[in-house]
Structure 1
Amino acid sequence: MKNNYMIILRYDGSRYDGWQKQGNTSNTIQARIESVLEKMTGEPVEIAGSGRTDAGVHAYAQVANFHIRENLDPGEIKRYLNEYLPQDIRVMSAEKAAPRFHSRLNAVSKKYVYVIDNAAVADPFRRKYAFHHPGRLDIEVMRAAAAYMTGEHDFRSFCSNKKMKKSTVRTIYGITIERKGEEIHIVVDGDGFLYNMVRIIAGTLIEAGEGTRQPAEISDILEHRDRAFAGPMAPPQGLFLMEVKY
């Protein structure tokens, strides 16, 4: 039986085509890590992430696991990866995992934060890590709209994958919205998320904050189960995967 390892990653997704390996590009987080692991171990390695972050999306604590034949010291794996990976991808920890552990299938909850730069003039040092929205946003109205999203619902209206055949029912444990200086942070905690779900939630809440959508409309959006009824998808650079629980 191969040895199973779990690593926790932090990365700046600005210049990558997302997490997932793709046939038409090697410029993904997964492809970069697998390439280094294959050089280290001398065997093909497939790494599984807890979630497939989109192009331009970042992670403070992405969890991933992989199986290899050799029984290596986790500290050596961490050192090797950090030596040969690009500097915008860092391995924060590495450890031996149970043989059947899977970073995505065993996850029980995930937490994301969406960051809005609400200053009148965009901060050039935050342009890759926040969505600039200079207009007034009513935090209390956004919170009222978010309250309709909490709990177990069918979130098909908040999913970009129109051909989704699996269940689109998810549970949102909580959405907190806080102003921190000139930034607004939308923190979404749930048992799992559909394709682009958090960015669509953020875009819809921004509409509520602008006054172009009433909080009570969220119930109708959920009931329609149609992407056309929800708000726009917020840009990727404001989104961070913060935490995965098992």
Structure 2
Amino acid sequence: MSFNDDEPIVAIQDVSEEKPEAFLAKKTKVTIFNKPEAPLEESEHKVMLELRSGNERSGVDLVTVLDVSGSMEGEKLAKLKSAMEIVISKLSPIDRLSVVTFAGDSRSLTDARVVGILLMSDVGQQNAGGDAAQVPVGNVPVYTFGFGADRDPKVLKTIAKNSMGGTFSNVQNQDNLRIAFSQCLAGLLTVVVQDLKLTVTQIKSTSIEKVSSGNYPQSRDVVGGSVTVSFGDRYNKKVRKVMVDLLLPAVGRQSCCWL
């Protein structure tokens, strides 16, 4: 899954001059920036967490669903073949490709686990058996591509919209065909971490007042007070910053001497 990150995170000010603390969580490095000192009385404190993705991606399991019905004959079928050449040229040995063709019925030419689906059709008449736009696709992105200018792309648009992060592209000529498929695959083939979640947990009597994470969704544990941010898929060398506002309790001088 993917999320919009248009809301900026303001950088923390007056951070420690010492080397910030960092730790690794699989393929994501988390660096902590904060002031090393705080007053003895109850006070607010800011901590910035910087998440940095690596550059070693996992293999992608890709399913292409190809319309080979009679309405796709001629120029449309030639474009479909060109599209498949683009897809195959972008894949590497760590990726797996599954090909499904459909006309009156469907037939799988290969087998793979599903991560992303590319649906290519001229949006012709649907066969008996229900409305394709109403078929649930689950938590899988479906990228749809329309090959015909003489058809209404409503069905393909709806299928993409109903999926998790899918898009529709209208490919009328060789130039925008190459651009559309290259942009689609550029996202799929640069995912380093899938479904990344960051959980910030408060300790002792410290209270988490606010977690600023842009437009990424958050959930809070009412009992423990921890906050979890869901980042979805993370891409090659991407950096995300999270600001945590803490409320630190008052500390007695006698207790301080034991620190």
Same fold (TM over 0.5): no
Q: Taking structure 1 as the reference length, what is the TM-score of the superposition? A: 0.26
Q: Taking structure 2 as the reference length, what is the TM-score of the superposition? A: 0.25
Q: Comparing both structures, which one devotes a greater share of its residues to strand?
A: 2
Q: Comparing both structures, which one devotes a greater share of its residues to helix?
A: 1
